[in-house]
Amino acid sequence: MSKKKMYPYIPNSEPVVQEEMLKFIGVDSIEELIADIPEEMRMKHAMELPAPFCDEAGLVRHVNSILNKNNTADELVCFLGAGCYNRYVPALVDEVINRSEFLTAYAGEPYEDHGRFHAMFEYQSMMAELLDMDVCNVPNYDGSQAVGTALRMATRITRRGEVLVPRNLNPDMLKAVQTYLQPDVKITYVDYNEKTGRICLDSLTEKLTENAAAVLIMNPNFFGVIEDKAQKIADMAHAKGALMIACVEPSTLGVLTPPSHYGADIACGEIQALGLHMNFGGGVAGFIATHDDPKFVDEYPSRLFGIAPTDNKEWGFGDVLWERTSFANRDSAKEFVGTHSALWGIAAGVYLASMGPQGMKELGEAVVQRQVCLKKNLAGVKGLCLDKFSGTPFQEIVVDFSASGKSVEEINKKLLEKGILGGYDLEKAFPELKGCALLAVTEKTSADDIKTLAAALGEILA
Amino acid sequence: MNNLERMKKFHQAKWNEPVIYEMSEPGERAVLVPGPCCDCVSTDDALATLPKEMLREGVANLPEVAQLQLVRHYNHLSQENIGVDGNIDIGQGTCTMKYNPKVNDRLAGQPKVTEMHPLQPAETAQGILEIFHRTGELFKEISGLDVFSMQPGGGSHGVLALASIVRAYWRDKGEEEKRDEIITTLFSHPADCAVPIVKGYKVVIIQPDADGYPDIEAFKAAISDRTAAIFFTNPEDTGIFNVRIKEFTRLAHEKNILCCYDQANANGLLGITRTAEANFDMSFFNLHKTFGAPHGCGGPATGMVAAKKELRPYLPMPLVEYAPEKGYYLDFDLPKSCGKIKSFWGVAPVVVKAYSWIMALGADGLREVSRVAILNNNYCMKKILEIKGASISFPNHPSRIEQARYSWQKMKEDTGFGTADVQRCIADFGTHYWSSHEPWVIPEPFTIEPSESYSKQDIDDYVAVLAEIARMCYEEPEAVKAAPVNSTVSHTDHDYFDDAAKYAITWRAYNKKYDGYFEPKKK
């Protein structure tokens, strides 16, 4: 008889141990334990899967042989943004979230997973300071869900069924929001001003009625442009009894005004830029923040960790308003909660604590300086126009190549031949912006990167 | 020293760690940020381009901490957290806590995954797209289904994807208005109930019959031309395999109802029976549970959706496909799609980990996972039922699949101590225990899932702890009342979490509500 194969991840695959356990149970085989499963439901053949890589070395060689086909954003020169940013992740962020006590934990209780509750409370607290709000949730799936839930919260708070969404919202985000709001929340779209790239106030005036639960803005918007009339928009929303919701990029808030200062009732968005690797779009997590008002707090579907005293004068932590959640209330819950993106919240917390107030300010300054530098370097390139929108950009700019007669796709292909990841092709989601691309910088973008891009575009467009 | 004595000596790290704001020293920094990229534009000139009314006044009130002090703080917090790697984590039934091989974390944590931008041209992302595609191919055999989406970010998100597909399907068939109900069961995951409501459905809940199966007569009465879909978990949270599951799908299909399988509890079924054998049209699988990716304190995760090929048009877009002439690519050409479920394409590192896990085990290994999970569960069950005060739901079932739901009702009647007391006490033994999903139809419930990762000794040790706590409940009530005493913190006053006047969800909210250590602000 050949020796039974051993599995390093399955200690009780050892036959002697199995025999002993079966004897204790009082059966002769594992098969007896699943005798309930009807024969007609059994698989009639062994699963046909590829031969496994039983040794770890072989597995690593195999998986790496596939992954090595990738060219990373760091191996190339990256100007892609559009909702995911090639930011620098400090080493200590990875160090903390790869500690197995955090990485392998799940739903532990306050007494034995105290550290997780504590770390998440700190994340909530730092996000709240950045946003100048008093409440922030444990991260949900991504910025899209944060926007979708913020809009649904507004419909419950105002008891109205329509939301106003700007056309200059991130289109990838918009698609997920549309799915999330179907079928009962009506979306009315507000145009953007084709000259400024900002929300068109005339369109908003026309669309905004007393049916609106909320007016959403994205700031900076998808074109990278700052919505500097945000206070006006908030005033308009409030005048009609609607809430103002701002989807903001938190990494900009060291320099830009927090949304609560211009009247946002709910702030929401994506934390990828706060110390999360891009992970091919998998390093995303959403936040929602509000004032400390029960009317709002009651409507969160996600977990909220609060601080409380213990019998011994220590900091204790636990779930606030557990009865809101679907864990407690199934069919009468506020939306639903499940496994979301908690670890990314710890990462963002470490990041914010690493940067501190000055770091976040300097980060914003570094980004805006590179953006202006990029514009300056591209200004001399013939065949491109930087004046598509007159609104002020922060970290991304719209570049119009239409005068060159070349498509963005064509230009990007040539840039890639030179090792450059060009901008996001805006025509895909905005047909009226044919020939336009969105170029992003981060604090990782160097002067050489910018010069390389300008020189490459100079050659391609010549 | 026996293992129970060893575990009694446990003492969790207890640092009395401050909230990070209490550590703040003005001027300290853990990380410095790059300055200007060149001197062609000064920072001041760049800032001057921004609208004045949109410039932040002052700075955000973030803590100021140097790097060592920050690392130490978070290391202390991690030490005050146990996780799978630190304990016998079988007390979190329904969640399939298991060992997450370290090699998978290494593979997924390398720049070839982490530094990939989601919008890179497909030709520069062939490796990661191939992993997505290969994982889908593996699941064809694991589930018996045909098409896949890796987009959902967790199990509940997988349920959202299923509900969205159901709606897109009926919209396409012109019956969206008519088909306005979804049927689920009482012992399914809360998300199976809560998510369809978000998607605008009325939810009908089938109660269990005397044997613990969903009541088939109630089901027959519930299904109608209004039913859009059924959402069934199998095995349910009781660990009982629904032997009539195929009868449910047959009855549903007779009325053209879509059948959605929640396979969050699939860990005991690999290679034994599948979604296809139960004749479901689609299902989701938790890659972070059964397929060996770590749970990350509650995500990031993946609730991969699998479906029959007829349902491909309705899946979330894009799908990852392969064509010889262009390699691996994202297919957005799905005009009938339910839309997008998540930003970008899914949680790539989790997919890499699940792929690596499956490829390390192969078909025989996956079957061994389930065989051992079943063996461990039934061994554990027999041992637990020897404990005074413990009983099991629906005791007429002599065996269970991968988990079982038990009750301390007898102990509660005898001693006054129930499941919440066991939960408090167990932290003193270096391990974890959860009660069960609500509602507590089984009184004083607890659900134990000893997946394949735990050894016989682990199970013996864990059950010995449960037995010791039960003994304490009967013999040492004062010790039970005092617990936890060896854990990070002592008893926390949960009254602070349900009262708007008292809860503080952030440090600033705490400071606004209280003068000091929970002394209320004087008005």
Closest CA to A208 of A158, A242, A177: A242
The verdict on a CB contact (< 8 Å) between A24 and B364 is no
Length of chain B: 523
User: What residues have CB less than 8 Å from B256, skipping those under 6 apart?
Assistant: none
CA pair distance B121, B297, nearest whole angstrom? 33
- What per-residue string of b and e applies to B323-356 under the rule 16 or more CB within 10 Å gives b? eeeebbbbeeebeebbbbbbbbbbbbbbbbbbbb
User: What residues have CB less than 8 Å from B322, skipping those under 6 apart?
Assistant: B130, B133, B328, B329
Query: What integer pLDDT is reported at residue A1 of this predicted model?
Result: 44
Show pLDDT as tens, one digit a residue, over chain B (523 residues): 678 888 888 989 999 999 999 999 999 999 999 999 999 999 999 999 999 999 999 999 999 999 999 999 999 999 999 999 999 999 999 999 999 999 999 999 999 999 999 999 999 999 999 999 999 999 999 999 999 999 999 999 999 999 999 999 999 999 999 999 999 999 888 889 999 999 999 999 999 999 999 999 999 999 999 999 999 999 999 999 999 999 999 999 999 999 999 999 999 999 999 999 999 999 999 999 999 999 999 999 999 999 999 999 999 999 999 999 999 999 999 999 999 999 999 999 999 999 999 999 999 999 999 999 999 999 999 999 999 999 999 999 989 999 999 999 999 999 999 999 999 999 999 999 999 988 898 999 999 999 999 999 999 999 999 999 999 999 999 999 999 999 999 888 889 999 999 999 999 999 999 988 898 887 6
CA pair distance A24, A19, nearest whole angstrom? 9
Closest CA to A299 of A173, A151, A163, A143: A151
Tokens of B465: 């702890």
Nearest Cβ partner for B438 among A22, A62, A327: A327
Residues from chain B contacting residue A10 (CB–CB below 8 Å): 365, 368-369, 372, 452-453
Query: What integer pLDDT is reported at residue A332 of this predicted model?
Result: 83
The verdict on a CB contact (< 8 Å) between A141 and B423 is no
Specify whether the CB–CB gap between B505 and A134 falls below 8 A: yes
The verdict on a CB contact (< 8 Å) between A369 and B42 is yes
Angstroms from A458 CA to nearest CA on chain B = 19
Query: How far, CA to CA in Å, does B394 sit from each of B206, B375, B399, B406, B449?
Result: 17, 19, 11, 9, 17
Give kind and range of the element (H or E) at residue A397: strand A396-400
Tokens of B82: 């146990």
Query: What integer pLDDT is reported at residue A2 of this predicted model?
Result: 52
Nearest Cβ partner for A119 among B29, B77, B271: B77
Residues from chain A contacting residue B86 (CB–CB below 8 Å): 100-101, 104
The verdict on a CB contact (< 8 Å) between A376 and B40 is yes
The verdict on a CB contact (< 8 Å) between B127 and A40 is no
Residues from chain A contacting residue B297 (CB–CB below 8 Å): 102, 105-106, 113, 116, 120, 342-343, 346
Instruction: Quickly tell me which residue has 């719209």 as its tokens.
Output: A398
Residues from chain A contacting residue B51 (CB–CB below 8 Å): 226, 228, 392
Beta strand spans in A32-153 (E): 77-78, 135-136
Q: What is the pLDDT of residues A362-390, one digit of tens each?
A: 999 999 999 999 999 999 899 999 999 99
Instruction: Quickly tell me which residue has 């934390």 as its tokens.
Output: A271
Angstroms from A419 CA to nearest CA on chain B = 10
The span from the first CA to the last CA of chain A, in angstroms, equals 75
The verdict on a CB contact (< 8 Å) between B198 and A180 is yes
How would you class B255 by CB atoms within 10 Å of its CB: exposed for 0-12, middle for 13-18, buried for 19 or more?
exposed
The verdict on pTM exceeding 0.95 is yes
Specify whether the CB–CB gap between A219 and A226 falls below 8 A: yes
Specify whether the CB–CB gap between A17 and A25 falls below 8 A: no
Interface of A with B in 66-85 (CB under 8 A): 66-76, 78, 80, 82-84
Pairing mode, strands A266-270 and A286-290: antiparallel
Pairing mode, strands A396-400 and A436-440: antiparallel
Query: How far, CA to CA in Å, does A143 sit from each of A109, A140, A175, B147, B230?
Result: 27, 8, 12, 27, 30
Angstroms from A45 CA to nearest CA on chain B = 9
Query: What integer pLDDT is reported at residue B3 of this predicted model?
Result: 81
Angstroms from A194 CA to nearest CA on chain B = 19
Angstroms from B31 CA to nearest CA on chain A = 5
Query: What integer pLDDT is reported at residue B491 of this predicted model?
Result: 87
Nearest Cβ partner for A124 among B86, B245, B506: B506
The verdict on a CB contact (< 8 Å) between B64 and A356 is yes
The verdict on a CB contact (< 8 Å) between A373 and B38 is yes
Specify whether the CB–CB gap between B419 and B442 falls below 8 A: no
Q: Which residues of chain A, if any, have pLDDT below 50?
A: 1
Residues from chain B contacting residue A290 (CB–CB below 8 Å): none
Residues from chain A contacting residue B91 (CB–CB below 8 Å): none
How would you class B152 by CB atoms within 10 Å of its CB: exposed for 0-12, middle for 13-18, buried for 19 or more?
buried
Q: What ipTM was assigned to the predicted interfaces of this complex?
A: 0.97
Could you tell me if A201 lies within 8 Å of chain B, comparing CB atoms? no
User: What residues have CB less than 8 Å from A152, skipping those under 6 apart?
Assistant: A180, A181, A185, A335, B198
Neighbours of B309 (CB within 10 A): 9
CA pair distance B406, B467, nearest whole angstrom? 14
Nearest residue in B to A137, CA atom = B505
CB pairs under 8 A between A and B: 746
Tokens of B386: 């020897």
Angstroms from A209 CA to nearest CA on chain B = 24
Residues from chain A contacting residue B125 (CB–CB below 8 Å): 70-71, 280
